[in-house]
Amino acid sequence: MATISTILWDVGGVLLTNGWGHQERAAVLSHFGLDRDAFEQRHPEANDAWEKGLVPVEEYLARTVFYEPRKFTVPEFVDAMKAESQVLEDSALGILKEIAASEAVMLGMLNNEARELNDFRIQQFGLTDFFGVFLSSCYVGLRKPDARMFRLACDVLQREPGEIVFVDDRAGNVQAATSVGMHGIVYEGPEKLKAKLTEFGVFAVSVG
């Protein structure tokens, strides 16, 4: 097995709660008294463009929420969206910090997130302290599980796929990474992640 030089991390469901997943959407919609079914019918198409960085949050919300007059403002709604982001209860953040402190491998984000939430989460949780590269969907114009996103990561990083481990809580995304030759780990909690990284020879002593 090739020596691992790089670990790419999903964020929502691995380090933090999801930025704008089903739970987060339900909570915010309930707070503002919005009909969830009506919103969810409009969400997928608008969200695809938003997460790829093709439209700003104002356009996304114009298509999903503010297509009719509301008693609240766009900034109020966005603030409520941001407030849903928290450190995951079963977070891998501690392991990430240990690996980052060793400076032995490159660490990067590879996640699906819209720019406004992604930028907020990076700043709010100090992720620039750990990651040297940010391959987020809103920056690269692609979304997991599109295999092109993982090929692009190899090109940008100038790494062979076999040098890279990708960590994600969704099996479909991990499968997409392994389809281009990366090593994949489905996140199932910090202890199992630590064991898997040990198997890959990543900081077996430092992390263990």
Confidence bin at 1 (pLDDT 50/70/90): low
CATH 1.10.150.240 describes domain 22-83: yes
Residues 52, 54, 59, 61: what is their CA dihedral angle, to the nearest 10 degrees?
0
Q: What are the tens digits of pLDDT across the range 99-113?
A: 999 888 999 999 999
Q: Is the pLDDT of residue 44 over 70?
A: yes
Q: Is the pLDDT of residue 60 over 50?
A: yes
Helix, strand, coil in percent for the chain, rounding step 5: 50, 10, 40
Instruction: Cite the residue boundaries of each domain of the chain with CATH code 3.40.50.1000.
Output: 6-17+87-207
Full-model pTM: 0.94
- What percent of the chain is predicted at pLDDT more than 90? 94
Under CATH, which architecture does the 6-17+87-207 domain have?
3-Layer(aba) Sandwich (3.40)
Residue 75 makes CB contacts below 8 A (sequence gap 6+) with none
Instruction: Cite the residue boundaries of each domain of the chain with CATH code 1.10.150.240.
Output: 22-83
Q: What are the tens digits of pLDDT across the range 126-177?
A: 999 999 999 999 999 999 999 999 999 999 999 999 999 999 999 999 999 9
